[in-house]
């Protein structure tokens, strides 16, 4: 294994080495990590639900009734009453005919392409798509095409080169996970419809936070199942639990149940998790103050950044990256912030393009103004401001 050691050494030299910190507290704004109390600005727990007492209680109550393990895959005997109830709730919440649960978003994304496309078909990806969508496209037999970020004109040209007898699937992040901007879905879905292509939106970072009820970017843009036939979203971010789902037509969901290997050949997630998620969806829908408060924090953060000369990206979501550029520098800034009790991870290639290493700051409904002030004081002291 000598060659592995030298590869790891090279990775370190390139500033690409990744290291895990150990968290001892529950997820939240104030956490205990690597033995230090810090303010966290890098969780995807956008609504502050990951440690919510009512959701925890729902989980505990369901463990009492349903136990812990599901025991088998959904198609054997692992599909429990809470799983079924959650699927119905998610379908109704997103305004789709049906929904199907997956153990993780990564698995949902690798399931879709391989279940729907064959070797004669084509899959189109935005260049800034999440790694799981890229892997989903790579792991299916269809030919992979990539278009420039949100460039529906280039996508249209690429679609024009294909044949109508080929199945064509466009896959895009809804909210781009590392930049925080949104897919231009009005145009993308129009282009898809004009060319008879399918479009799939991964709303991992929009579900729960966007839309008046929190049903995500498609609710915000008022795009229905006809316009966006495949919706995928995750439950481990704003919803505060874990897992993911795909929502769409009866035929889509039935096809996934019959054909999607990452659905068929894996043990169903614990039933209690579905029960906890049901509770979490109720809170997401009812407590719109969480979205309002998050929106106020985003506006405050951006205003502070402008005053202090910290350059931001064109994002109006909870994801507010600060581009550093160099890998070593990004790591160094992140470590210096950690020393001051502020936790923001450095995101480096291949998660983001080479030369665009960044601090991926994420905001939560649980942040107060005073927390954001502390972040900017720390950024200022490590030299990130004009
Ligand atoms: C987090 C994420 C996923 C993966 O979801 P998991 O449930 O964490 O596996 C997929 N797509 C996007 C855009 C994500 O940010």
Question: What is the block-wise mean pLDDT of the chain (386 residues), using blocks of 10 residues?
Answer: 94 92 96 96 98 98 98 98 98 98 98 96 98 97 97 97 93 97 98 97 98 98 98 98 98 98 98 98 98 98 95 96 95 96 95 94 98 96 85
**CA nearest 171: which of 131, 225, 226?**
131
Q: What pLDDT shows up at residue 323?
A: 95
How many whole angstroms separate alpha carbon 320 and alpha carbon 230? Answer: 27
Q: What pLDDT shows up at residue 385?
A: 77
Beta-sheet strands, E only, within the chain? 30-33, 36-40, 98-102, 122-126, 143-147, 168-173, 198-202, 230-234, 244-248, 319-325, 342-343, 346-347, 357-362
Q: Which helix (H) or strand (E) holds 314?
A: none
Helix (H, G, I), strand (E, B) or coil at 277: helix
Nearest CA to ligand 1 atom 14: 204
- Establish whether residue 204 lines the binding site of ligand 1, counting it when its CB lies within 6 angstroms of any ligand atom: yes
Sign, CA dihedral 221-226-230-236, equals: positive
Sheet holding 319-325, edge to edge: 319-325, 357-362, 346-347
Domains, the chain: 16-45+288-381 (3.90.1150.10), 53-286 (3.40.640.10)
Inter-residue contact 308 to 385 (CB < 8 Å)? yes
Concerning whether 205 is annotated as a catalytic residue, the answer is yes
Q: What pLDDT shows up at residue 164?
A: 82
Could you identify the atom of ligand 1 that is nearest to the CA of residue 106? 9
Q: What pLDDT shows up at residue 171?
A: 98
Q: What pLDDT shows up at residue 193?
A: 96
- Establish whether residue 177 lines the binding site of ligand 1, counting it when its CB lies within 6 angstroms of any ligand atom: yes
Concerning whether 237 is annotated as a catalytic residue, the answer is yes
């Amino acid at each position: 294994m000598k060659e592995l050691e030298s590869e790891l050494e090279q990775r370190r030299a390139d500033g690409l080495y990744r290291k895990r910190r150990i968290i001892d507290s529950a997820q939240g704004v104030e956490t205990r990590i690597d033995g230090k109390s810090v303010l966290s600005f890098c969780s995807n727990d956008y609504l502050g639900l990951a440690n919510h007492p009512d959701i925890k209680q729902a989980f505990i109550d369901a463990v009492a009734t349903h136990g812990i393990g599901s025991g088998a895959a959904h198609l054997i005997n692992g599909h429990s009453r809470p799983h079924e109830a959650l699927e119905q709730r998610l379908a109704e919440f997103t305004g789709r005919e049906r929904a199907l649960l997956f153990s993780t978003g990564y698995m949902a994304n690798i399931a879709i392409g391989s279940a729907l496309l064959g070797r004669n078909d084509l899959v189109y990806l935005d260049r800034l798509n999440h790694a799981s969508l890229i892997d989903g496209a790579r792991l299916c037999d269809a030919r992979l095409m990539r278009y420039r970020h949100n460039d529906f004109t280039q996508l249209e040209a690429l679609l024009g080169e294909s044949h109508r007898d080929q199945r064509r699937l466009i896959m895009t992040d809804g909210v781009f996970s590392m930049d925080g901007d949104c897919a231009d879905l009005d145009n993308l879905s129009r282009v898809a419809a004009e060319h008879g292509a399918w479009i799939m939106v991964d709303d991992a970072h929009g579900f729960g936070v966007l839309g008046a009820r929190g049903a995500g970017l498609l609710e915000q843009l008022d795009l229905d199942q006809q316009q966006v036939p495949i919706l995928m979203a995750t439950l481990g971010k704003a919803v505060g639990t874990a897992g993911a789902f795909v929502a769409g037509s009866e035929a889509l969901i039935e096809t996934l149940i019959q054909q999607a290997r990452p659905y068929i050949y894996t043990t169903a997630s614990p039933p209690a998790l579905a029960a906890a998620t049901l509770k979490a969806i109720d809170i997401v829908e009812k407590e719109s103050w969480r979205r309002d408060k998050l929106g106020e924090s985003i506006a405050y953060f951006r205003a502070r950044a402008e005053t202090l000369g910290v350059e931001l990206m064109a994002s109006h979501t909870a994801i507010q990256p600060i581009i550093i550029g160099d890998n070593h520098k990004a790591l160094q800034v992140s470590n210096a912030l950690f020393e001051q009790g502020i936790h923001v991870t450095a995101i480096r290639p291949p998660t983001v393009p080479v030369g665009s290493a960044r601090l991926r700051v994420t905001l939560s409904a649980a942040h107060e103004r005073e927390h954001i002030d502390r972040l900017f004081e720390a950024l200022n002291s490590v030299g990130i401001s004009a």
